[in-house]
């Protein structure tokens, strides 16, 4: 059984007037989520808020669920109950975003990434669509748990681009998968093994795309409290130019 401490911080960055990121830190639901809206003006903010509100609501409504209940999507027997809760929640958010665009032409083209961690009776489960990331910090090492759905990340995985090049590339913000209101998205779901002393970081690409992993690791290794660490991470992104909105949620794991 885990005891979780958590903190979250968000900043518009230095070059954006609006903050289109949204987040959820629901200790009561054991749900932690970051969504990075896209679409410009207010539309990205609306897409990320719809995603967060829909995912929160569905996780809350299925708190005491079982596989035999009526699900809005086919139940995936290859996943745990919590895996199905997140997968369905993400897909429902995608449909809500589509419905909002159908009702208001000015919202056409909006979309959002999302990355979430759900704790509970089963193993912790992570879910994501897009390039918002989840990291695990353990034994002074930082591991990226999620795999970006982005053009530059595909080039890095193919071995034709370095991570440093990806951070500078003009197409670094081009995602290949998002909650955008079209067909039901493929949602990456994975179980996460947690141990005493672990820290989990969920962030938008306003942090991960500009701050090298070595710097992220060094900040986490200081052992500061979670609020101070969140502030230091955001400060590092802004010192690197702050080209985008920055959101970071941190969790610290202790055995209850």
Q: Total structural domains in the chain?
A: 1
pLDDT score of 69: 75
Q: What is the mean pLDDT of each run of 10 residues along the chain (256 residues)?
A: 90 93 96 92 89 97 78 91 96 97 94 96 91 96 91 69 68 80 95 94 95 96 94 98 96 83
Q: Which helix (H) or strand (E) holds 237?
A: helix 226-239
C-alpha to C-alpha distance for 70 and 48, rounded to whole angstroms: 26
Q: What is the pLDDT of residue 136?
A: 98
pLDDT at 41: 59
Main-chain dihedrals φ then ψ at residue 34, nearest 5 degrees: -125, 135
Closest alpha carbon to 48 in 122, 105, 161, 130: 130
Orientation of helix 226-239 relative to helix 213-221, angle to 10°? 150
- Residue 29 pLDDT: 95
Cα 45 from Cα 49, distance rounded (Å): 6
CATH code: domain of residue 7: 3.60.40.10
SS3 242: coil
| CA distances for 97 relative to 55, 62, 63, 177, 240, angstroms | 12, 21, 23, 14, 32
In this structure, the number of other CB atoms found within 10 A of the CB of residue 197 comes to 12
Tell me what pLDDT residue 3 has: 87
Residue span of the structural domain in which 9 resides = 2-255
Structure confidence at residue 163 (pLDDT): 72
Give pLDDT, residue 166: 66
According to the model, what pLDDT value does residue 198 have? Answer: 95
């Amino acid at each position: 059984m885990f005891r979780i401490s958590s903190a979250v911080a968000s900043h518009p960055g230095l070059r954006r007037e609006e903050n289109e990121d949204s987040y959820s830190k629901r200790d009561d639901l054991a749900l932690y989520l970051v969504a990075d809206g896209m679409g410009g003006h207010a539309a990205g903010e609306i897409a990320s808020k719809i995603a967060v509100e829909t995912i929160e609501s569905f996780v809350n409504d299925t708190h005491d669920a079982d596989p035999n209940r009526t699900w809005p999507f086919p139940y995936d027997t290859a996943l745990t109950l919590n895996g199905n809760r997140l997968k369905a929640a993400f897909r429902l958010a995608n449909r809500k975003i589509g419905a909002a665009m159908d009702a208001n032409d000015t919202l056409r083209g909006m979309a959002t990434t999302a990355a979430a961690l759900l704790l509970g009776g089963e193993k912790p489960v992570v879910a994501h669509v897009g390039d918002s990331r989840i990291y695990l910090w353990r034994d002074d090492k930082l591991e990226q748990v999620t795999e970006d759905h982005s053009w530059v990340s595909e080039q890095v995985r193919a071995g034709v681009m370095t991570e440093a090049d990806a951070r500078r590339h003009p197409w670094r913000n081009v995602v290949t998968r998002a909650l955008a209101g079209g067909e039901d998205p493929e949602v990456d779901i994975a179980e996460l093994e947690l141990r005493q002393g672990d820290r989990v970081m969920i962030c938008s690409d306003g942090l991960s795309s500009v701050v090298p992993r070595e710097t992220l690791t060094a900040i986490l290794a200081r052992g500061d409290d979670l609020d101070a660490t969140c502030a230091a991470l955001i400060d590092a992104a802004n010192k690197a130019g702050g080209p985008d909105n920055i959101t970071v949620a941190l969790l610290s794991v202790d055995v209850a």
